[in-house]
Structure 1
């Protein structure tokens, strides 16, 4: 090497060589041309090349990839400047990367001249791998924590925030005018110590919970709280726990957004406690609120009241305009009722067109009447339902606490009874409950209970009244009349219990029993050798509109083996005037069976001549009320003559019921009436007596 002194291993002291080989660090000596003249055993073990392979060769032959990175470093050392430790990445004989901690010192001769460099290298590959693994683990953990939807923060033993995740930071900057007070470096406990504004109680409770977890009083603590923004309301569940493991105390705080859960709970509660159509409290919530009102009234010795409302003619509006219009009307009514009451009052919907108003405090009865009248006045205004102006009203029953009842069920029942009395006395009015109403209700319930058992106990009977041909004087048929042999009240006529049977639905099984018994009796008389004749059976509105009426009539005729031509079904005129198309369709189905059809009480309803022409009717029955007016004026006579003439022009025969005198019979005969029925010939009698009557006729 020109221009420089040659340093050889032989020139070193044997003790120095032995010392270098014994060191755990790789020792590499370079001359001024960067050729290797020292390569100890540690270097062989770390890098893989032997001393024989490296000595005398340039350093760059073994670390070409790293030379651009280390060139300046070596040049400074060879220039005589010692260099501090430096971590570099080199490669081994097998081309594997290796991390080393590299320090270099200039070598000098006796004159102080730099003649080379001595490099010491520590293998730190394992340590660097662990460090990189730790960094990657921390990065991965941080990514996981930042990906959590929960807001997370870690506090030190003083309550200072030392770390937060992305969700926490995003929330702080989105919902706080000073987001920095909720991030690293600030005392979270101090931020919780608010003294005024919304959420003070929750913040104080949360701070107390954090302190309790810090001092070990609680293992963990949680609290639900709401958080408002200008556009939304959020709910969170805050949870405080101690960080597990050794080391200094750390507190982990998480906030879970439970807004969707709370909204779902609210929706479920809304469905469970509020009417979906009107948004008013439903029966369940009403029971709870009314219970609270009564408890408070009892404690404070106050009076309370409930108003039971039922809309008048709602079914007519619902049926004629459709259910959508009916629903809209109920919404309007609900809104108007809310406008009529105080903030402390409750308006609830029981179902259908029934509402209840709860008045918690009513010092004077006049307070109740004022609200009741206000409701009547409000509902009297017309309602526009898609261009159709509708007028409605309501009947109101009022019950007072404690006079009329001391529990929820009793008060509602009493108000219900008072409401029915308001309907009975003209509707669009209010009535207070009275003891008399209760007595009537008790009697009605007893009558209903008895009627439910009347069929099973054999208490129902059929009586028969003859129908006579005016021209020949012969019996041409009979009408069946129901009687109830009540165990306490004696023999009851239909007027005493038929309305009750209609309301309770008992008319269906009772009507079927009447029809079956009448057909069987008629067949029995024919089999006994008596002349066949028709038997007339009345049908109620429920029976006529029942979807199985035709099947029921057919089945009974088959069971009793009675020819259809000997059965006549009577229907009231009002029943036929509701839906003419449906009525005609049902009557035609009955006619196909072969039975005859009659209109009972004709002249008292509202049938038009056009409708009458469409009906397949065999007989018109003139109502008895017109016969009672004969002789007292010309109106009844004219009506009877008109009915007879009209019927004969259209085809049906005419029968007059309620005939009691010779004068009535003669008038009917003179004006062409076909048949008559009434006390003039016979009262309704039992089957045994009617059998005798038929045998002697």
Structure 2
């Protein structure tokens, strides 16, 4: 606070805290009253606490401006008790002895915001200096010849303090508009003079607590980071990172420092996370055994990891700026363009791509590409690839081996002369058919067929003619049955037809008769000498919910064939096997 200049010399002595302590003229009498000096008008009521020594309350009230509300206490202890419950703009202490100065010190500590005025009844420099040291802003000589001047000084003092408080409130309101912490600091002591709402909220200190602090109280112990960046501690012990800025300013003819802070704790945390992620990605990129390629939507490479560069037989640096087209054969450029187009439309793509090694041989890569957007920058894509050359070669070799195995299996189950199923294939198929028939009511039927008079053909015309007849007989037999029925040659001139899901015995008889008719037609094997009369005998076994084994079924059919041959050939014999339960019922 600045000293109020005396308008003229008078009988009243006024000493302000800001004046030199050794000024002997501090208690000099003012010989004249201020010309035209009226008590400054107070625009609103102010509360003043009077603390009287041996002076009466009436005397204290008489010297105070009439516009103030006065509360009087005789002892400093009573005044301190009142300060705990009430707020006062000024405290007037009347001190006549050194012991009264102790009360001044306690009042100054308890009411730092109030104007503290000490009235002395004698011009004792020792008391004056002690009062100023205890915290008094003004020391006045009382009583004096001009009480009007005393009231004027007190009123002006109150007005100045209240004006400053209003200015401080206006400044505080202005500072509170900023969303970041702001402080006004005293350049000499670095003590905070004001703190805005953002500072109080972030740090958790009240305005009164900030008033007793300096920036050093906020700093976290330890090495300081980069210039302008500091680690601070909040009231609850939380550690935050702030970016500081300050500038000089002149306010009310006084130089101050404006200190601002921006909480960058979350920002720094995100930066650290990004840096850690970037470091992990760089390590993954450099040490990954898989292939990683970074490129744009046009297919222009910007980075290739060492594994991919080594697989292509090229330095990684030389691949930067290379087009994906240049890594593949010219015939695959359209495929690459289509893949990039799908990537731009859907954000990802995958497939199999053949690329060329620097020595010219091709590699098969299985790839997966994903599109990324980095803020406002252009989109980029990352392709992850795996070398499938050896795997595809092994797969092709396996497929070829499987095809070869399948071919061998077919040969093992096929009659070489006629192309029909052989005995092995017949028994495999018949075994499954027997299992399936046990849950059905339809008939499982085996036709055992033998060519009539085949031996004379071999003996008379040779084995070539016999083989031709066997092939022709097999072809006609295949044409006479359904596509799903099995036709097999099980040896010599013996054939078997396996049929499933025939509805009844009548149907079985019709099929047997049809086969006899088809096989009795002549076989023209080329030329007059190779026309043979047809003919065959058939043994038939039909069963419902069959309980016999495949070999037993074939044996029953063979028995029926034998009966057909014994009856004069060119005929069939049928054995219908009932389910086990019905067979037992019929036997009883």
**Normalized against structure 2, the TM-score is what?**
0.34
TM-score (norm 1): 0.29
Higher relative contact order (CA 8 A, sep 6+): 2
Q: Which has the larger radius of gyration?
A: 2
